[in-house]
Amino acid sequence: MKKKLTFLGIETSCDETAAAVVKENSNGTADVLSNVVSSQIKEHEKFGGVVPEIAARAHVENIDFIINRAIKLSGKNISSFDGIASTAGPGLVVCLNIGYNIGKSIASFKNKLFLPINHLEGHALSPGMENNISFPYLLLLVSGGHSQYLIIKGIDNYKQIGTTIDDAVGEAFDKTAKILNLGYPGGPSLEKFAKLGDKNSYALPLPIINKGGCNLSLAGLKTDVLRKSKQIKTDQDKYNLAASFQETINKILRKKTEIAMTIFRKEIHDSSVKPFVIAGGVAANQTLRKSLKEISKKMNFKPIFPSKEFCGDNAAMIAWAGIQRCKRKVIVKQNEKVRSRWPLDKKAPFLKGPGLKF
Ligand code: KG4
Ligand code: ZN
């Protein structure tokens, strides 16, 4: 029997300092031996968003403790690990450098394999930790920095079929929550207050809904929320606007997901039930989950949501991506540098900036 790999994962791409120890099991899924995440909510709360220098300082202060804790909780010793995987991008360079450099140093000191991992690949492969999932599958990655539809054909074989041309879905939630003064972090608090409101009370725009394939645009929606927020008189108006915003995102994702599913079918020439994975922090949203489950049923897809602890940023998904790469010998050279921008599909067009036409 082939040896089952164990990896230490380290994640510091944004405002979570995280470390985890993951071992593959005999079912082909993961035994997550430890998964430690330290969130910097308190540090960034008063600014209503992540401040890179503050985030970097918090990573420096916490990283030793978090790694030691992950190793201790796993009950393993570093010497038994097959490799160490650190997020190397995309993200905030000052933050990435901390997890990357410490991972590389431990690996070098302990004479272990070091793998720099793409954070998006971590999210993309994360459902495999809990499910025996076969390629190809459709992925909707919705986080604070990214919103993409990808066809995951295999490890290191990714085709982007849609992306946001301006704001990411999580970013739109965060900015709307900030406009409405609903608290930080924005996504979960907006979801909470939306429950108190009437989702049909405000008509908000659905940018590029009938053009641009399964690409997304959300900046116009946020601007309209800002405009309408100026007319708010009561808390109930505020909750109504939050509920209407969430419902608008819901409508956009329903339509765009249907288009992405049609593109996926054309690309793979297979009409059997296929997995549709929804990953990234926004995948925790219950209203969106319900909608995406309905659309999956209609379009003959099996929806898969990672557990809440693996939806947001975590290091287990980074360790897992390291294991998958190591197993298939898809190894990035060790002299890789961290990168702020690192698309999963290198051939995908860069759809941002003025002059973009559909
Ligand atoms: O994947 P993630 O933890 O970090 C990034 O890679 O960005 O995603 C964080 C994003 C934030 O924008 C956060 O507001 C959003 O996910 N989010 C949510 C919910 N929980 C987290 N958005 C909507 N509803 C939620 N329940
Ligand atoms: Zn993420």
| CA-proximal residue: ligand 1, atom 13 (nearest) | 187
106 vs 328: which has the higher pLDDT: 106
Residue 149 confidence (pLDDT): 98
pLDDT category at 57 given cuts 50, 70, 90 is: confident
pLDDT tier at 184 (50, 70, 90 boundaries)?
confident
For residue 244, the cross-strand partners are none
pLDDT, residue 30, reads: 97
Higher pLDDT, 329 or 101: 101
pLDDT of residue 182: 93
Please report the pLDDT score of residue 55 as a whole number.
80
Kindly report the three-state secondary structure assignment for every residue of 32-57.
EEEEEEEECHHHHHCCCCCCHHHHHH
CA of residue 20 to ligand 1 center, whole Å: 20
Task: Count how many residues are written for the chain.
Answer: 358
Distance (Å) from CA 8 to ligand 2 centroid:
18
Question: What is the 110 CA–ligand 1 centroid distance (Å)?
Answer: 35
pLDDT higher than 80, residue 170: yes
pLDDT attached to residue 177: 96
pLDDT at 187 over 80: yes
- In this predicted structure, what is the pLDDT of residue 10? 98
What pLDDT sits at residue 56?
A: 79
How many Å lie between the centroid of ligand 1 and the Cα of residue 186? 8
The closest of 243, 249, 247, 248 to 194, measured between CA atoms, is: 243
CA-CA distance, 157 to 117, in Å (whole number)?
Answer: 14
Q: Report which of residues 200 and 335 the model is more confident about.
A: 200
Structure tokens at 95: 């933050």
How high is the pLDDT of residue 49?
67
Of the candidate ranges 110-119, 220-229, 334-343, the one whose mean pLDDT is the lowest:
334-343
191 pLDDT more than 90? yes
- Can you tell me the mean pLDDT for 297-313? 93
Reported pTM: 0.91
Residue 42 pLDDT more than 80? no
Q: What is the pLDDT of residue 26?
A: 93
pLDDT of residue 241: 98
Q: Please determine, for residue 358, whether its predicted confidence score (pLDDT) is greater than 80.
A: no
Return the ligand 1 atom nearest residue 185 CA.
14
Identity of the residue numbered 67:
I
Per-residue exposure over 104-133, b if at least 16 CB sit within 10 Å of its own CB, e if not: bebbeeeebbbbbbbbbbbbbbbbbbebeb
Q: Which of 15-29, 95-109, 332-346 has the lowest mean pLDDT?
A: 332-346
**Mean pLDDT for all residues in the chain:** 92
Report the alpha-carbon distance of residue 70 to residue 49 in Å, rounded: 27
Query: Residue 46: pLDDT band by 50, 70, 90 thresholds?
Result: low
Paired tokens of 8: 């230490």
269-287: pLDDT as tens digits:
999 999 999 999 999 999 9
Q: Relative to the CA of 280, which ligand 1 atom is closest?
A: 1
Provide Rg for the chain, Cα atoms: 20
- For the CA of 123, the closest atom of ligand 1 is 1
> Which residues does 88 contact at the CB level (< 8 Å), separation at least 6?
96, 100, 116, 117, 118, 332, 336, 337, 338, 339, 342
**Which residue ranges have their beta carbon within 6 Å of ligand 1?**
14, 143-145, 170-171, 173-174, 185-188, 191, 280-282, 284-285, 312-313
Q: Which residue has the higher pLDDT, 40 or 257?
A: 257
- Please report the pLDDT score of residue 47 as a whole number: 65
Question: What is the number of the ligand 1 atom nearest to the C-alpha of 284?
Answer: 26
